[in-house]
Amino acid sequence: MSILSWLFGAPGWLLAAGLILVAVFGLVPSISKWLWVACIVAVGAWGAAGYGKAALQARHTREAGNKLLQAEQALRTAGGELHTAAREIEVRDRMLRQIEADAARRTSNAEAARRAAAAQIVALRQRAAATQTYVPQGDTPAARAEDAAAQWLKARGQ
């Protein structure tokens, strides 16, 4: 207890009331001793009630403090769980970004392969068109096959 709370709390008032009673009853000797005892008991009861009230307030304060401590511990636990969940989310986010990057790279590679294949098809079509352009009218694969067969038959004498 600090000095100010003691002076202005129940002990201070009890002390002040006692001093006032001593001064009053010391100056007025005609008041009976029973009245003196009754006043002292009343002031004592008032002081005890003040102490009881202070003790009750202290108990409520302790209980509130304990509840606050429990709430703080629960918040710390929840904060730890949130931190763990946040780390898991970050790991999953990194994994998703890596998967997206791999998919983009594969898509890019597939697109490049498609473009290369399309360019090869165009080149082959151009070569085929150029080859057909310079082929003499009677020079087709079927005509060449017939010529080869005729030469073979001639060579055999038939």
Q: Cα–chain-centroid distance for residue 33?
A: 75
What is the predicted pLDDT for the residue at 39?
72
Q: Tell which residue, 69, 50, 52, has the closest CA to residue 9.
A: 50
> Which of the four pLDDT bands, split at 50, 70 and 90, describes residue 99?
very high
Our separate counts of H helices and E strands in the chain read 4, 0
Q: Is the pLDDT of residue 146 over 60?
A: yes
pLDDT, average across residues 98-113 = 88
* Between 27 and 104, residue with greater pLDDT: 104
Domain assignment present for residue 7? The answer is yes
Express each pLDDT in 76-86 by its tens digit: 888 888 888 88
DSSP 3-state of 28:
coil
What is the predicted pLDDT for the residue at 98?
93
Gap between the Cα atoms of 43 and 49, Å rounded = 10
Domain assignment present for residue 41? The answer is yes
- Structurally, the chain folds into a number of domains equal to 1
Tokens of 38: 């009754």
Domain assignment present for residue 151? The answer is no
Express each pLDDT in 20-67 by its tens digit: 766 666 666 666 677 767 777 777 777 777 777 777 888 888 899 899
Domain assignment present for residue 26? The answer is yes
What is the predicted pLDDT for the residue at 74?
87
Domain assignment present for residue 113? The answer is yes
Gap between the Cα atoms of 94 and 88, Å rounded = 10
What is the predicted pLDDT for the residue at 132?
65
Domain residues for the domain of 52 are 3-130
Q: Tell which residue, 62, 54, 59, has the closest CA to residue 9.
A: 54
> Which of the four pLDDT bands, split at 50, 70 and 90, describes residue 75?
confident
State percent of the chain over pLDDT 90: 9
* Between 55 and 109, residue with greater pLDDT: 109
Gap between the Cα atoms of 92 and 14, Å rounded = 69
Domain assignment present for residue 156? The answer is no
Q: Tell me the average pLDDT of the chain.
A: 77
Gap between the Cα atoms of 17 and 47, Å rounded = 10
Tokens of 76: 């710390």
